[in-house]
Amino acid sequence: MSDNQMNLAFPEQENAGPSLEEQAAAIDAQENQQETPEDDTAARPDWLPQKFKTPEDLARSYTELEKKLGQNAKAQEEAVEQATETVAQEAATNMDSLIANAETEFVEAGGALSDGTYEQFEAMGVPRAVVDQVRDMRLAQAEQTRQQIIGEFGGQDTVDAMSTFAASSYDDAMVSRLNGMLASNDVATVRMAMNQIKTDFQSQAPAQDPTRRVTGRSLPAIEGFRSQGEIIEAINDPRYRTDSAYREDVERRIGMSQV
């Protein structure tokens, strides 16, 4: 062999790149890294509940919860307002009904009220003393109105005569109807009944002799009461129920009163 034989081996290159096997291994590693899901355990906060993936999910959940709570609070408030209004309406209705029943009892019992009625008023927050005060005022007003009507129809004697005439002249149905009208709280209805009795009474009463005159000593002037308080005081006097003369004096004074 000649010493001039060529050496075909490639000289060793400096800074040579990775071999084909190394490149293939690097590509496989990169693909495996992309296919493997990212483990976010290290990035997940410890305070975040397991059912939430991110803090944003937790924030959205709280926002929705606040909305629901707000809607529930509004619904509860509206329910309370409606219930309060209903209770107030029922209380007003019950009070109106109680007053109406008391008015009927007041008229039928001649100004008296039962213990049961007092108890009902107390249950509604109205003390017995207030009920008595209103009752006394109504008694005074009723008596004053009665005396005024008696005066309009000729005085007590004439009204008594009209009453006697009506009881003996009308049938039971007519007497019942007129009594119902006279017991009414409506003054116009009372006057209507009195006018009917007066018309029938005058049409059947004998004519009076204009030459006859009633003579005798003059009665002292009667002064009316100056206030509702004086009327109530006079009616509450025990003599009003036991002494007919005292009662007549009180009734005359009520008829003369302008209060």
pLDDT tens-digit profile of 198-210? 988 888 755 444 4
Alpha-carbon gap, residue 231 to 137, rounded angstroms: 9
Alpha-carbon gap, residue 148 to 185, rounded angstroms: 14
CB 48 within 8 A of CB 55: yes
Alpha-carbon gap, residue 259 to 54, rounded angstroms: 85
Helices (H), 109-127: 115-123
Structural domain span for residue 156: 139-205+222-256
Alpha-carbon gap, residue 127 to 119, rounded angstroms: 9
The residue among 185, 97, 91 whose CA lies nearest residue 141 is 185
Report if residue 167 sits inside a domain: yes
- Which of 58 and 32 is assigned the larger pLDDT? 58
Residue 19 has a pLDDT of 60
Alpha-carbon gap, residue 40 to 44, rounded angstroms: 6
Alpha-carbon gap, residue 256 to 225, rounded angstroms: 8
Residue 53 has a pLDDT of 80
Residue 104 has a pLDDT of 80
Q: How far is CA 225 from CA 228, 237, 240, in A?
A: 8, 15, 15
Report if residue 228 sits inside a domain: yes
- Map residue 184 onto helix, strand or coil: coil
Report if residue 36 sits inside a domain: no
CA angle 90, 92, 95 (to 5 degrees): 105
Alpha-carbon gap, residue 50 to 60, rounded angstroms: 15
**Which of 20-24, 228-232, 236-240 comes out lowest in average pLDDT?**
20-24
Report if residue 31 sits inside a domain: no
pLDDT (tens digit, 9 = 90+) per residue, 54-113? 888 878 887 888 777 777 767 777 777 776 676 667 767 788 888 888 878 877 777 778
Report if residue 132 sits inside a domain: no
Provide the number of structural domains found in the chain.
1
pLDDT score of 18 more than 80: no
Across 251-256, average pLDDT: 72
Alpha-carbon gap, residue 116 to 39, rounded angstroms: 82
- Give the confidence band of 27 by pLDDT, cuts at 50, 70, 90: low
Query: What Rg value do the Cα atoms of the chain yield, rounded?
Result: 53
- Give the confidence band of 33 by pLDDT, cuts at 50, 70, 90: low
CB-based burial, 100-113: b 16+ in 10 Å, e otherwise: eebeeebeeeebeb
Report if residue 234 sits inside a domain: yes
pLDDT score of 166 more than 80: yes
pLDDT score of 214 more than 50: no
